[in-house]
Amino acid sequence: MGGVTSSMAAKFAFFPPNPPSYKLITDDATGLFLMDPFPHRENVDVLRLPTRRGNEIAAVYVRYPMATTTVLYSHGNAADIGQMYDLFIELSIHLRVNLMGFQCFNCDQLLSLQICVLAEMSVDIKDEVTVTVVVYSSERRYDYSGYGQSSGKPSEHNTYADIEAAYKCLEENYGTKQEDIILYGQSVGSGPTLDLAIRLPQLRAVVLHSPILSGLRVMYPVKRTYWFDIYKNIDKIPLVRCPVLVIHGTADEVVDCSHGRQLWELCQEKYEPLWLKGGNHCDLELFPEYLRHLKKFITSVEKSPSRRSSSRRSTDRIERPRRSTDCFEAPRKSTDRRERPRKSTDRPEKLRLHEYKFNNMDKLEKFRTSFDQMEKSRRSVDYHEKSRKSIDQQLERARKSVDWLDRIRVG
């Protein structure tokens, strides 16, 4: 059993650069943060952001002139934002967007930390296999906490606090509206990305780059969600109410392409996915189709109507309490469970139709009776009218006769 646990941890034991690829220094003249050894750019802000869990994360904000969309990028490779810096600049230029990137620690490192020897228990992952899983409750965050120049320790809930801090900065410091933000999650970054997405009802869109169904599912094709699992994206993706683009390499040796395909199938609002033939886990940006398809997606969602509502809520107010990874959760109900057969509505429908016909016949009969009465009245009026005319004619003849007699007398 110990060998299984060791192999699980070894498979994902990718740690951030040590030492970090950059240093945060303060410019004496301006008091601004700079990233050494990168040259200062007028359109790039280097930031240190406090999180609600008491840590600080390093982040960069790249401006693009006249951009209306902002991408909040959560990366997941064994890298820090120093190594992602050039990519952030290029994406901002080619996609014509503002971009905020911050350091989230690696999925692979988190999984190895999550499976540390602290407490052992046996769990049936498959019918024929029982593995010993050890659960460790730790803390870390965005560069993600514990990466680059970010403080703290890596943990699932720290990454949630980290992305919330980045989002809050966009909203409060840069005036970015929720409906103008696209969340981009790569690898483990898909975890905090989807966790935030389900709490932002006006979000413009989501991009999932080599995403995971959940931490445990990367290692075992389990059919249900266990309490000790992390980044349970499979349970959250159906709750996302904006367009979702999924990008995955067909030759991914770290997170199988089936993860991306299943997440795409579970989306409420699917966008044409991009399955890059021969693409691995960390090289998808090198494919020409990657940038073309991503640009097409962003252009498409920018033209679509904004998801505005009467009231906007910040992440502080919409934050929902999450269950600790130290307590058990009930297994997810299978989506294969069939609905109970519904009672036939044919008979009531026939009865309603019969009643409809009966009522109509009754109304028709009343209408006919009313019509007959009106006809009789009309005929009676015509008869009296003819009688009146006859009397008038007789009086007229008598008057003419009198006039004739008067003319004879005069003559």
Separation between Cα atoms, residue 184 and residue 310, nearest integer Å: 26
The full 3-state SS of the chain, as one line of letters, equals: CHHHHHHHHHHCCCCCCCCCCCEEEECCCCCCEEEECCCCCCCEEEEEEECCCCCEEEEEEECCCCCCCEEEEECCCCCCHHHHHHHHHHHHHHHCCEEEEECCCCHHHHHHHHCCCCCEEEEEEECCEEEEEECCCCCCCCCCCCCCCCCCCCCHHHHHHHHHHHHHHHHHHCCCCHHHEEEEEEHHHHHHHHHHHCCCCCCCEEEEECCCCCHHHHHCCCCCCCCCCCCCHHHHHHHCCCCEEEEEECCCCCCCHHHHHHHHHCCCCECCCEEECCCCCCCHHHCHHHHHHHHHHHHHHHHCCCCCCCCCCCHHHHCCCCCCCCCCCCCCCCCCCCCCCCCCCHHHHHHHHHHHHHHHHHHHHHHHHHHHHHHHHHHHHHHHHHHHHHHHHHHHHHHHHHHHHHHHHHC
Catalytic residue among 150, 252, 256, 293: 252
CA–CA dist 139, 53 (Å, integer): 10
187 is known as an active-site residue:
yes
User: Which of 187, 190, 210, 214 does the annotation list as catalytic?
Assistant: 187
Comparing C-alpha atoms, which of 135, 141, 146, 137 is closest to residue 158? 141
Catalytic member of 157, 209, 248, 281: 281
User: For residues 313 and 200, is the Cβ–Cβ distance under 8 A?
Assistant: no
Q: Is 252 a catalytic residue?
A: yes
User: Which amino acid belongs to residue 154?
Assistant: P
Rounded distance between C-alpha atoms, residue 71 and residue 88, angstroms: 10
Catalytic annotation on 40?
A: no
Instruction: Region of 175 please: left (phi>0), alpha (psi -120 to 50) or beta.
Output: left
What positions carry a catalytic annotation? Answer: 187, 252, 281
